[in-house]
Amino acid sequence: MINFHPGNFSRFLRSRGLRLAVLCFQFLWLNIVIPGHRRGIVQLPGSGPSCCESAASPAPLRPCCQKASKQPTPTRSDPVSRCAICFFAAHLSTAPAIDFTHPPLRLIARTEPPAPARALPADFFPTYFACGPPII
């Protein structure tokens, strides 16, 4: 028996054997099982036929069918939509969560104020003679 002390457990998680086992599982699961399985062959629990739908014995002899005959029979869902392998694969590869939080506000750097713009002297008046009256 292996004693998993905190140091041994972290060493086990970083071991080459565990990495190889996870790599082999991912290879087999993603490249052989998922592409090669027949959809609907393994269904999720609760998706199988009810006792009234099986052909083992006549329906009127079973007590569950006598009660169910008063109610409308529910429609069976498509077995392909209830595939357990696809369900498991979809939950193994969930989308990453997006973090919309802003980074904390803090002082990044100090900058010097920009140099002042060159001011024009007060006695300078630019003139514009494009279409004014003639000078007399």
What would the mean pLDDT of 110-124 be, rounded to a whole number?
Answer: 79
Helix (H, G, I), strand (E, B) or coil at 29: helix
Is the pTM of the predicted complex or chain greater than 0.75? no
Is position 63 within any domain?
yes
Angle at CA of residue 18, ends 12 and 23, nearest 5°: 160
Model confidence at 16: pLDDT above 80: yes
Angle at CA of residue 95, ends 94 and 97, nearest 5°: 120
Q: What percent of the chain has pLDDT over 90?
A: 9
- Model pLDDT for residues 70-79, shown as the tens digit of each residue: 555 555 668 7
Is position 56 within any domain?
yes
User: How many domains is the chain partitioned into structurally?
Assistant: 1
Which domain does 28 fall in, by range? Answer: 6-71+79-92
- Model pLDDT for residues 36-68, shown as the tens digit of each residue: 988 888 888 875 555 555 555 555 555 555 555
Q: How far apart are CA 103 and CA 113, in angstroms?
A: 26
Query: CA distances (Å), 134 to each of 18, 125, 126, 130, in order?
Result: 96, 19, 18, 10
Instruction: Give the pLDDT confidence score for residue 104 in this predicted structure.
Output: 87
